[in-house]
Amino acid sequence: MKKLMCYFLILSIRFVEGGVAYADIEGGKESFQCTDIFERRPATVITAPLDGRPISNEYLENLVKMGGDRFIPANKKYLDKGFDKPLNGKWISGDSQALRTSILEQVKMHDNKETTVIINTSSYITRDLVGSRIPQNYNKRSITKALYDLDYLTNHHKKPRYYVHVMIPRIIPESRGV
């Protein structure tokens, strides 16, 4: 009962002192101190983002750092670059294979239970968000290779927690009968 009351106190009123909450409970002739049950070491977040835009990287980075954790973004050289020039420019896609290799290397260096890996399939499989809308990027060979790499990553590095965000592509203009 004392433990339950302690947990309740910690959840309802958190007196934070150096990242640890304390609550004293009087129990008749005895009293004890309970420390924050959520005390933890800083975590690491590794990501394969939606695409190369700042909102896909910097926003998550700010959130992770606000929580006191370490953020390891995808290497920008493997993400899409956008248009090479304004108006009628050529789209510069990312490199999914190089990104997958980079994510694997980061996971190898941070293969522990305090690591979270967030994988967006748009950059991990189809190069970027724009690439997820191009039917040619869903060929059997590239999808099979990407899924093999994902299976290898998650089965050879089981300690991190993985979140895989699967993109459902927008309706492609050619399929609307236009």
Other C-beta atoms closer than 10 Å to the C-beta of 1 total: 7
Q: What domains lie within the chain, and their CATH numbers? A: 2-35 (no CATH), 44-174 (3.40.50)
Listed as ranges, residues in the chain with pLDDT below 50 are 1, 3-37, 178
pLDDT at 40: 61
0.95 exceeded by pTM: no
